[in-house]
């Protein structure tokens, strides 16, 4: 399924077609990958894309061509993953200094591909993660947790994660919300292109949050395991700014700055 809204520049796709598009953007002509991988670009039907107005022959319309070029060679890729009692949701953003593209999970196997300005990235992350101001003091101080709980919460979700979190958390409004199923794990992960700093290890960082209606908390790895720490949107906002900035060695001028200065949320 492919539909294209020329007014907004939004491309709507089903999951199979999106898989084919991504493979088409990342598979070179001389690829030596397996047969299954080489078949994936064929999942994107050029004839259907042309009927939708997204392509002219084998060439995407200019607005999409610009986004596809960013997706094929990004400086930064950001994944936003949401788990809880509902079905997992995943969004992805590709960014370069001159522009960005994002795929939003619209549910039920449907996705929307649109554009964004690099300076809006932190705000877009907040919106896609459905975060906002939460009451303070929902969690009573820093609490240690076993390291293995993060995989249950972040990767699996569901009732088993609800029960495990309820068992491990100390009594608090956040624990009560988790026990009632009113929780989400929000993971925002940044992957920077190794070409930006070839003399350094590839840079990847993540912020992992427990979001409830009565408070926001952050999971932090420690030498002895894991801690869950109360946080707020005011604290989180400047951290998102830093998370989405290129390494100092990669900045060659004003055009290389991807995001704006922090604006605190209350």
Neighbouring residues of 232: CB distance < 8 A, sequence distance ≥ 6:
133, 134, 136, 216
- 139 near 152, Cβ under 8 Å? no
The string of pLDDT tens digits covering residues 26-83 is: 875 444 444 444 557 688 999 999 999 999 999 999 999 999 999 999 999 999 999 9
SS3 165: helix
Name the percent of the chain lying above pLDDT 90: 74
For 133-162, the pLDDT digits (tens) are 999 989 999 999 999 999 999 988 999 999
* pLDDT band at residue 202 under the 50/70/90 scheme: confident
Q: What is the pLDDT of residue 23?
A: 92
Average pLDDT over residues 216-233: 93
Is the separation of the CB atoms in 154 and 83 below 8 Å? Answer: yes
- Pairwise CA distance, residues 109 & 117, whole Å: 26
Confidence check: pLDDT of 253 > 70? no
What average pLDDT does range 210-215 have in this prediction? 97
- Which pTM does this prediction carry? 0.86
User: Residue 113's closest CA among 55, 68, 78, 51?
Assistant: 68
Higher pLDDT: 65 or 260? It is 65
Gap between the Cα atoms of 84 and 161, Å rounded: 8
Q: Calculate the CA 60 to chain-centre distance.
A: 25
């Amino acid at each position: 399924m492919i539909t294209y809204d020329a007014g907004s520049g939004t491309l709507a796709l089903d999951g199979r077609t999106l898989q084919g598009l991504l493979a088409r953007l990342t598979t070179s002509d001389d690829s030596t990958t397996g047969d299954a991988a080489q078949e994936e670009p064929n999942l994107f039907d050029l004839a259907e894309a042309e009927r939708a107005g997204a392509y002219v022959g084998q060439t995407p319309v200019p607005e999409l061509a610009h986004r596809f070029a960013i997706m094929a060679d990004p400086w930064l890729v950001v994944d936003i993953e949401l788990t809880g009692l509902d079905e997992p949701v995943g969004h992805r953003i590709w960014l370069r200094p001159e522009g960005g593209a994002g795929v939003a999970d619209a549910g039920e196997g449907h996705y929307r591909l649109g554009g964004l300005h690099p300076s809006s990235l932190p705000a877009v992350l907040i919106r896609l993660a459905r975060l906002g101001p939460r009451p303070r003091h929902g969690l009573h101080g820093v609490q240690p947790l076993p390291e293995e709980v993060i995989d249950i919460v972040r990767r699996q979700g569901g009732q088993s994660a609800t029960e495990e979190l309820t068992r491990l958390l100390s009594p608090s409004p956040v624990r009560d919300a988790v026990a009632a199923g009113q929780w989400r794990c929000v993971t925002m992960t940044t992957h920077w292109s190794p070409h930006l700093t070839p003399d350094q290890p590839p840079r990847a960082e993540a912020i992992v949050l427990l979001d409830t209606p009565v408070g926001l908390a952050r999971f932090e790895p420690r030498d002895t395991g894991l801690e869950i720490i109360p946080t707020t949107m005011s604290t989180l906002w400047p951290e998102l700014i830093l998370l989405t900035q290129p390494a100092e060695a990669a900045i060659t001028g004003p055009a290389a700055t991807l995001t704006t200065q922090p604006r605190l949320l209350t």
